[in-house]
Amino acid sequence: MIVCQCTGVTDRAIRKAVRDGASNRNDVVRACTAGKTCGGCVPAIDEIIEAEQGRIMRSGLATLELATG
């Protein structure tokens, strides 16, 4: 789904930016330009960042539990 109408950036691109190391909105702007123009998508970007970081954390914890289990 397109999140940033101004630059045509999708939720997948934002999620990939987070997986590749973007940890905040400024990092996402640098990585894929979402949120750079009008800012209307900023709330959605923040939600995606938070959700993806949570997913990464849960995945890391599951891996750690398997390794130490």
The CATH number of the domain holding residue 45 is: 1.10.10.1100
Q: What is the mean pLDDT of residues 39-44?
A: 97
Cβ 28 vs Cβ 14: under 8 Å:
yes
Confidence (pLDDT) at 58: 86
Structural domains of the chain, count? 1
Q: Which domain holds residue 7?
A: 2-68
User: Does residue 67 register a pLDDT over 80?
Assistant: no
Question: Residue 10's beta-bridge partner residues?
Answer: 2
Cβ 28 vs Cβ 46: under 8 Å:
no
Distance CA 31, CA 34 (A): 8
Residue-wise pLDDT tens digits, 1-10: 999 999 999 9
Mean pLDDT (the chain) is 91
Collapsing DSSP states into helix, strand and coil, what is residue 7?
Answer: coil
User: Does residue 25 register a pLDDT over 70?
Assistant: yes
Dihedral-angle region of residue 5 (phi above 0 means left; psi in -120 to 50 means alpha; beta otherwise): alpha
Confidence (pLDDT) at 31: 97
